[in-house]
Amino acid sequence: MSDVNVQVNYDDLIPNNVDLASDRRLKRALEEWHPGYIDWWKSMGPEGFQEAQVYLRTAVGVDPAGWAKFGYVKMPDYRWGILLAPQEEGRKINFGRHKGEPAWQEVPGEYRSLLRRLLVVQGDTEPASVEQQRHLGSTAPSLYDLRNLFQVNVEEGRHLWAMVYLLQKYFGRDGREEAEAMLRRHSGDADKPRLLGAFNEATPDWLSFFMFTYFTDRDGKMQLASLAESGFDPLSRTCRFMLTEEAHHMFVGESGVGRVIQRTCEAMKEAGIDDPNNVEAVRQLGVIDLPTIQKKINFHFAVTLDLFGAEVSTNAANAYNAGLKGRYQETKLDDDHQLDGSTYPVLKYVDGEFKTVDEPALNAINARLRDDYVKDAEGGVKRWNKIIAKTGIEFEVQLPHPAFSRRIGEFAELSVTPDGSVVSADAWQAERDQWLPARADLEHINSLMQPVQQPGQYASWIAEPKVGIDNQPGDFEYVQLAS
Ligand code: BYC
């Protein structure tokens, strides 16, 4: 890899590896947006910890080896920057009707509004997640977890910068207006909500946070991977670097849920409780029972599947045809990359049963990405079950049926149980609390959400991590709280 564009310039107000200094109009536009962003961060970002010194990683380059520098930072002073993966010489458009043409360095006029829409939707999710998580700091189960929350938050903030950069650089006044609107919409706001459903849901507790970073950040991974295939080269380069940050977020989710599961099973063993369904007895131990963990999985999985849009979508077909958004790992797939005449089996509910129906592959881009997502999400579930099995407790967590509790797409009108039976709406409502977190479940979880702020100490309901961040020792003070 060449050194060009690998190092990040930290001398500018806005760190970057895109030679911002040479584009004065853009630099000014971004500098004008900056104070509004900081105001948004202070009023909608992590509540109560703006003065704390947090042991964060900051990107210093974009090469895979050693891009991160760790050190204590007050979050509002974090150096949010514009970081693109290095440009590949001679890169081509790899799919759709422009396949084989040189990748675009400017926005193709005919696809301007389609591309802008994709950037806006992607950008909108990033600050939304920060807003959803803003109350969690006060109940963190350890300083280690508190630090991980804040790392995720500042990087989601950086991902907003990534999309705002593209909008402001390539979309002129429209882009500037979209950038402003990103700071005006808010998660759950009745008048100006975030664009996608899952980003208006609450993240009420830390188990939800771990589920969100496991399931919903994984949608982020799949969507970013599809956008990284884009024929619009600046988008591809932006997303390639965002993916390196996303990996840590999913680690926080998978290891977080795993540690909750592990602590529950250990506590049950210590107390001689073998029956995971003896929920009351397990709760007495100050841990989260496995059936409640399953309900949280059901909720976050279903809400996240909705983020893939309708299974059969002309929007997705248009974005693919245009060369703007590809399939997951597009260049590794062995076909014509134009999908002429090819089909894809889409799961549907037809004549009273679930079955796959062959649809034109172009229209089934969303269905395919969702299927790829489900495969990817299954890995962590297997690893969680290994943790349970190791302790000798008999219980398996699982992903619910893809039609369970959906609001978007093929199954939105159906009432489907987690194991895939279609029932009446009334029957579904009557059983709802068996499948999704009920008030009593949330009250129990809530009762456990007490902050633990001594270095090396952990709340009763979560196991310690196996290793520290940046190989720090167990009693490392990841967050120095302001007095
Ligand atoms: N909620 O043809 P359709 C992340 C709308 S997460 C509300 O079905 P399409 C992250 C849709 O906008 C990744 N509305 O879907 C994770 C459209 O409206 P318009 C975010 C929805 O367009 C954690 C209409 O329904 N990035 O990064 O093929 C933390 C019909 O659309 C929803 C992206 O999603 C919904 N769930 O696909 C932080 C990538 N679903 O346009 C960050 C960019 C659909 O008719 N976005 N609608 O008014 C896209 O590729 C597409 O917009 C979607 C939808 C995949 C989201």
Place of tokens 């929920």: 279
Q: Is pLDDT of 234 > 90?
A: yes
Tell which one of 167, 408, 410, 411 to mutate to probe ligand 1, the residue whose CB is within 8 A of the most ligand atoms.
408
Q: What is the pLDDT of residue 60?
A: 83
Edge to edge, what strands does the sheet with 68-74 contain?
68-74, 53-59, 479-480
Place of tokens 């994984």: 218
**Which residues are near ligand 1 (CB < 6 Å)?**
118, 121-122, 125-126, 129, 156, 196-197, 216-217, 219-220, 223, 306-310, 313, 315-316, 325, 366, 408
- pLDDT digit string (tens) for 431-468? 999 999 999 999 999 999 999 999 999 999 999 999 99
Tell which one of 111, 116, 118, 121 to mutate to probe ligand 1, the residue whose CB is within 8 A of the most ligand atoms.
121
Report the atom number in ligand 1 closest to the C-alpha of 310: 8
8-state DSSP, 163: H
Report the atom number in ligand 1 closest to the C-alpha of 365: 28
For residues 241-253, average pLDDT: 94
Rounded Cα gap, residues 150 and 117, in angstroms:
28
Nearest CA to ligand 1 atom 49: 118
Tell which one of 196, 209, 214, 411 to mutate to probe ligand 1, the residue whose CB is within 8 A of the most ligand atoms.
196
Q: Is pLDDT of 3 > 50?
A: no
Q: Is pLDDT of 102 > 80?
A: yes
The separation between CA 393 and the C-alpha centre of its own chain, rounded to angstroms, equals: 31
Q: Look up residue 300 and give its two tokens.
A: 């976050």
Q: What is the distance in A from the centroid of ligand 1 to the CA of 144?
A: 33
Q: What is the distance in A from the centroid of ligand 1 to the CA of 177?
A: 20
Q: Using 50, 70 and 90 to split pLDDT, how confident is the model at 63?
A: confident
Q: What share of the chain is helix, strand, coil (3-state, %, to 5)?
A: 50, 10, 40
Largest CA distance in the chain: 68
Half-sphere exposure (Cβ direction) of 273: Cα atoms closer than 13 Å: 21
For residues 20-34, average pLDDT: 94
Lowest mean pLDDT among 66-80, 276-290, 324-338: 66-80
**In degrees, to the nearest 5, what angle opens at C-alpha 91 toward C-alphas 88 and 95?**
140
Q: What is the distance in A from the centroid of ligand 1 to the CA of 366?
A: 10
The separation between CA 294 and the C-alpha centre of its own chain, rounded to angstroms, equals: 20
Q: What is the distance in A from the centroid of ligand 1 to the CA of 121?
A: 6
List residues bridging with 353 in a β-sheet.
350
Nearest CA to ligand 1 atom 54: 309
Q: What is the pLDDT of residue 108?
A: 97
Q: What is the pLDDT of residue 483?
A: 67
Nearest CA to ligand 1 atom 2: 313
Q: Using 50, 70 and 90 to split pLDDT, how confident is the model at 2?
A: very low
Rounded Cα gap, residues 92 and 180, in angstroms:
33
Q: Using 50, 70 and 90 to split pLDDT, how confident is the model at 6?
A: low
Q: What is the distance in A from the centroid of ligand 1 to the CA of 337?
A: 23
Rounded Cα gap, residues 87 and 2, in angstroms:
9
Nearest CA to ligand 1 atom 5: 309
Q: Is pLDDT of 5 > 50?
A: yes
Rounded Cα gap, residues 241 and 228, in angstroms:
9
Packed helices 143-170 and 112-132: angle between N→C axes, nearest 10 degrees = 160
Place of tokens 């120095």: 480
8 vs 304, residue with greater confidence: 304
Q: Using 50, 70 and 90 to split pLDDT, how confident is the model at 1?
A: very low
Report the atom number in ligand 1 closest to the C-alpha of 409: 8
Q: Is pLDDT of 416 > 80?
A: yes
Q: What is the pLDDT of residue 96?
A: 98
Mean pLDDT score of the chain: 96
Report the amino acid identity of residue 224. Answer: L
Burial of 228 (0-12, 13-18, 19+ CB in 10 A): buried
Q: What is the distance in A from the centroid of ligand 1 to the CA of 435?
A: 26
Q: What is the distance in A from the centroid of ligand 1 to the CA of 426?
A: 29
Mapped to the 3 state alphabet, what secondary structure does 37-49 carry?
HHHHHHHHCCCCC
- pLDDT digit string (tens) for 138-148? 999 999 999 99
- pLDDT digit string (tens) for 359-413? 999 999 999 999 999 999 999 999 999 999 999 999 999 999 999 999 999 999 9
Nearest CA to ligand 1 atom 17: 309
Report the atom number in ligand 1 closest to the C-alpha of 316: 28
Nearest CA to ligand 1 atom 10: 220
How crowded is residue 59: how many other Cβ atoms within 10 Å of its Cβ? Answer: 19
Q: What is the pLDDT of residue 10?
A: 85
Report the atom number in ligand 1 closest to the C-alpha of 313: 2
Rounded Cα gap, residues 81 and 14, in angstroms:
5
Beta pairing, strands 353-360 & 53-59: unpaired
Nearest CA to ligand 1 atom 45: 315
Beta pairing, strands 68-74 & 343-350: unpaired
For residues 178-202, average pLDDT: 96
Q: Is pLDDT of 208 > 90?
A: yes
Q: What is the pLDDT of residue 8?
A: 83
Lowest mean pLDDT among 57-71, 108-122, 331-345: 57-71
Q: In which region does residue 401 sit, left (phi positive, over 0), alpha (psi from -120 to 50) or beta (all else)?
A: beta
Q: What is the distance in A from the centroid of ligand 1 to the CA of 309?
A: 5
